[in-house]
Amino acid sequence: MVNARAFSAPGKALLVGGYLVLDPRYSSYVVALSSRMHAIVTEVKSSDPEGIKITVRSSQFNGDEWNYEVKGEKGSQNFKLSEMNDKKNPFVEKTLLNIFTYFQISLSETSNIMIDIYSDAGYHSQANSVVKKNYHKEFRYHTKSITEVPKTGLGSSAGLVTVLTTALVSFFKPNISVAKVADLNLIHNLAQVSHCQAQGKVGSGFDVAAATFGSILYRRFDPDLINKLPPINSTEYQGSLVNLIDETDWKITAEPIGLPKGLRLVMGDVSSGSETTKLVAKVKEWFNKNTPRSEEIYDAINEGNLRFIDGINELSKLLEQSPDKYEGMIQSLEKGGDPKSYECFKNIMDAVDQIRENFRIITLESGADIEPPVQSKLIDDSLKLRGVLTGVVPGAGGYDAISLIATEHANLPSQTEKDSNFKNVTWLNLRQENTGLAEELPSHYYNLE
Ligand SMILES: Nc1ncnc2c1ncn2[C@@H]1O[C@H](COP(=O)(O)OP(=O)(O)O)[C@@H](O)[C@H]1O
Ligand SMILES: C[C@@](O)(CCOP(=O)(O)OP(=O)(O)O)CC(=O)O
């Protein structure tokens, strides 16, 4: 029997909290999605006493594969990791470096490792791809390498790093379980460090947090936790990393959340693409130049964010306490009734108006196209569709996508197929799914055809 384990982690959409989430004072609402990243780790017995080989295969992307060799003394910190064909994948590389550093692995006693990565269709544009499937899973196979296939913005690198970290942790610490909070924290902390290093910046980390914990109310860690680590190749790194992973309170908030039954998240891909780093840089510059007014604008957005979160909680309470009334409201929304006639719906819509209004001010003043006029029009047009409660530009905003909250049965593709206002929108075939990391059965990935 082959010694193998498999895990999956979800993609994300930051529904409210963009930009503010970079500051640990503010909470954000992060939704985990049904599109998941998968890793299957298999032990490959080896007789090489000097080092171990790790192969990471991403066969969906033109047979992409990275072959690493780790060499060094037994239990040594001075191991050397190299990719044998000079192929680069910084996310895989930093994950491996941190795992080997953290676990102080005895290289002479470890088998070789094979890891297969699979990503669900939602992460990438589906053009020029074919489906391969078995009874349990189906994946799209592309003719190009991973770096050349357009992304949809669900956080592929965060999903990859999180699930790869989990697979490797399970290899070196077989008793881990995704049901144990302590194990999730270990994986989360390791994955945040690797992801930040591979990206070359310390973002808010909401994407790695969602990949680990699922749909959450999120408050970030202090960026200095990672910024102050010594250089990865220094002798002090190992001790500092272990201290940061095991002994440090990161003070993040990751409370489970979810939309009440009857409502769902719909993502519309606009796929012109925006660069988050550039948007963040422009917003920071605007913020610093415009204090204290910029702080007031952030506070107004935060008030909207908190009103949104309260509004969703109120709806969930209503569903619990008066399910008939709640069902009536959903039915009315689905038939095209005015949602503002219900206080609970109105509160959520007003909160989103407050958020959007202020982001439009930042857009105008900073030159960062967070909610540019074409996206405002698209959201406003979407609000006229039957079953749509509200809508935002998720995450950093820009020209990537829109996120709508709609009723479970609202059929947006059929309402918009002949409407030229929606000609640039592809409704993505995914849902909110609150689960974070999950353990899967390795056999479910075999024999894809
Ligand atoms: N399925 C995959 N297999 C291997 N590497 C992947 C996969 N998905 C993402 N990656 C890595 O993540 C990188 C994309 O990261 P990034 O540009 O930050 O996009 P995103 O916003 O989706 O995280 C890829 O170039 C690759 O290094
Ligand atoms: C601006 C931000 O607060 C949100 C960016 O959210 P996106 O979902 O747009 O993120 P990427 O996948 O990294 O492009 C920056 C951050 O939180 O790191």
User: Which ligand has the nearest atom to the CA of 125?
Assistant: 1
Mean pLDDT calculated for residue range 32-58? 92
For residue 22, which phi and psi values (nearest 5 degrees)? -65, -20
- The CATH number of 263-427 is 3.30.70.890
Nearest CA to ligand 1 atom 14: 157
- Asked whether residue 108 carries a pLDDT value surpassing 70, the answer given is yes
Q: How confident is the model at residue 75 (pLDDT cuts 50, 70, 90)?
A: low
pLDDT surpasses 50 at 147 = yes
Contact 370, 362 (CB under 8 A): yes
Q: Name all residues whose Cβ lies below 6 A of ligand 1.
A: 58, 89, 91, 117, 119, 146-147, 151, 155-158, 160
pLDDT of 104 above 90: no
Distance of CA 237 from the midpoint of ligand 2 (Å): 28
Share of the chain above pLDDT 90, in %: 88
Strand duo 64-71 + 80-83: pairing: antiparallel
Model pLDDT for residues 162-177, shown as the tens digit of each residue:
999 999 999 999 999 9
Which residue lies with its CA nearest to atom 1 of ligand 1?
Answer: 119
Both tokens assigned to 293: 């007014």
Average pLDDT for 138-158: 95
Beta strands 64-71; 112-119: pairing state: unpaired
Name the pTM for this structure.
Answer: 0.97
The answer to whether the beta carbons of residues 69 and 60 sit under 8 Å apart is no
Identify the nearest ligand to the CA of 14 by its number. Answer: 2
Could you give the percent of the chain with pLDDT greater than 70? 98
Query: Which residue's CA is minimally distant from atom 4 of ligand 1?
Result: 58
Fold of 4-256+435-445: Ribosomal Protein S5; domain 2 (3.30.230)
12 Cα to the center of ligand 2, angstroms: 10
Express each pLDDT in 353-391 by its tens digit.
999 999 999 999 999 999 999 999 999 999 999 999 999
**What pLDDT is recorded for position 1?**
46
Confidence (pLDDT) at 46: 80
346 to each of 157, 389, 419, how far by Cα in Å? 37, 9, 27
User: How far, in Å, from the CA of 115 to the mean position of ligand 2?
Assistant: 28
pLDDT value of residue 149: 93
- The residues spanned by each domain of the chain are 4-256+435-445, 263-427
> Quick one: DSSP state of residue 173?
S
Atom of ligand 1 nearest to the CA of 119: 1
What ligand has the least distance to the C-alpha of 207?
2
Closest CA to 431 of 8, 6, 11: 11
Question: Per-residue pLDDT tens for 185-211?
Answer: 999 999 999 999 999 999 999 999 999
Please tell me the number of the ligand nearest to residue 283's CA: 2
In the predicted structure, residue 178 carries a pLDDT above the cut 70 = yes
State which of 29, 192, 196, 207 you would mutate to test the pocket of ligand 2, scoring each by most atoms of that ligand within 8 A of its C-beta: 207
- Exposure string (b/e) for 177-207, b if CB count within 10 Å is 16 or more? ebeeeebbbbbbbbbbbbbbbbbeebbbbbb
pLDDT of residue 2: 64
Ligand 2, CB cutoff 6 Å, lining residues:
14, 18-19, 21-22, 153, 155, 203-204, 206-207, 276, 280, 394-396
ipTM, 2 decimals? 0.98
Chain segment 312-346, per-residue pLDDT in tens: 999 999 999 999 999 999 999 999 999 999 999 99
Task: State pLDDT tens for residues 227-266.
Answer: 999 999 899 999 999 999 999 999 999 999 999 999 999 9
Question: For residue 305, how far is its CA from the centre of ligand 1 (angstroms)?
Answer: 29
Whose tokens are 């196979």? That residue is 141
| Ligand closest to CA 201 | 2
Q: What mean pLDDT comes out for the span 292-306? A: 98
For the beta carbon of residue 231, count every other beta carbon within 10 angstroms. Answer: 8
Ligand 2 center to residue 403 CA distance, Å? 14
The CA distance from 325 to 163, in Å, is 41
| Ramachandran class of 256: left when φ > 0, alpha when ψ lies in -120 to 50, beta otherwise | beta
Distance, C-alpha 189 to centroid of its chain: 15
Mean pLDDT across the chain: 94
* Residue 193 confidence (pLDDT): 98
Assigned token pair, 393: 């530009």
What is the best residue among 59, 62, 91, 124 to mutate for testing ligand 1's pocket, by most ligand atoms within 8 Å of CB? 91
Output 363-368 pairs: Cβ under 8 A, ≥24 positions apart: 363/397, 365/286, 365/290, 366/282, 366/283, 366/285, 366/286, 367/282, 367/286, 368/278, 368/279, 368/282, 368/283, 368/286
CA of 70 to the centre of ligand 2 (A): 33
Instruction: State in Å: Cα 123 to ligand 1 middle.
Output: 9
Per-residue pLDDT, 125: 85
Ligand 2 pocket test, pick from 218, 219, 276, 284 with the greatest ligand atom count within 8 Å of Cβ, gives: 276
pLDDT of residue 265: 96
